[in-house]
Amino acid sequence: MSGPEKPKVIGEEWSDERVKSFLFISPYDARINPDFNALLKAYQAMRAFDFERFVGFFTEAGRDINALSESGETILDHVSEHRRSTEYARALRAAGAKKAAELKQE
């Protein structure tokens, strides 16, 4: 048998519970910042409007929207490297996200 056993689902509605579940994703390595990890995993898995919802839940939970990766970048730095991520970057900016260089200036 070739191909996946389950068909690919496109345009599936994500419930609040599913979006919020990314708040509880733990990094595989203790050296990785849990807040950066949760943001990164959500960015990688979610459509822009679901990610925007996640960012709201994330900040409501008191998490750090400007958490740094091991290499010293914020999630906004990472997202800004991708041409098709303007909606993600807008959601982050609206929640107070900054690039690492902006944090250093404060």
Asked if residue 67 belongs to a domain, the reply is: yes
Q: Determine the length of the chain.
A: 106
Output the pLDDT for position 1.
Answer: 43
Task: Give percent of the chain above pLDDT 70.
Answer: 90
Distance from chain centroid for Cα 60: 15
Cα separation, 40 vs 42, in Å, equals: 5
Domain that holds residue 41: 17-22+30-105
Q: What is the dihedral of CA 32, 50, 77, 38, to 10 degrees?
A: -10
Q: Does residue 2 form part of some domain?
A: no
Classify residue 4: in a domain, yes or no: no
* CATH number of the domain within which 44 lies: 1.25.40.20
CB atoms within 10 A of CB 49: 11
pLDDT tens digits for range 22-74: 999 999 998 999 999 999 999 999 999 999 999 999 999 999 999 999 999 99
Paired tokens of 1? 């048998």
Rounded to an integer, the average pLDDT of 5-32 is 84
What does R_g of the chain's alpha carbons equal in angstroms?
15
Give the number of domains in the chain.
1
**Mean of pLDDT over the chain:** 91
